[in-house]
Amino acid sequence: LCLYAPGTGAPFNEEESMVIIRLSRAGSKKRPFYNMLVCDSRARRNGRFIERVGFYNPVIAEGPQRLTFNAERIEYWQQKGANLSDTIARILKDAKKAVAAQ
């Protein structure tokens, strides 16, 4: 299987692909639930992913059921060059503030 870079016809190198950590929506209508996924930036929002590193449930007010993530794995992927989506960056920043306040 040989992949080609979009619009160029040149072979695509998998190591050069952009990896991003973002949310994938799950749950039912009016009851959102989000998985934190590490995936290729070209993949669809609810499409193929590399690894699930946590979840976020905005319906719950407080507690461990609202936000759970594996900080070690997120740090690992960031060291490998993965970018955080804007929403994930905000959620993690708020979580760090909450931990520091305690």
- 20: CB partners within 8 A, 6+ apart: 38, 39, 40, 41, 82, 83, 84, 85
Are 21 and 77 in contact by the 8 Å Cβ rule? The answer is yes
- At which residue do the structure tokens 């060059």 appear? 81
85 DSSP 8-state letter = P
The token duo for 18 is 């952009």
Q: Residue 1: its pLDDT value, please?
A: 44
Q: Residue 15: its pLDDT value, please?
A: 53
CA 87 to chain CA centroid, Å, is 9
- At which residue do the structure tokens 């760090």 appear? 96
Q: Residue 43: its pLDDT value, please?
A: 78
Along the 102 residues of the chain, how does pLDDT read in single tens digits? 445 445 555 554 555 568 899 999 999 999 999 999 998 888 777 778 889 999 999 998 877 788 999 999 999 999 988 999 999 999 999 988 888 887
Distance (Å, whole) CA 49 – CA 2: 20
pTM of the full predicted structure?
0.75
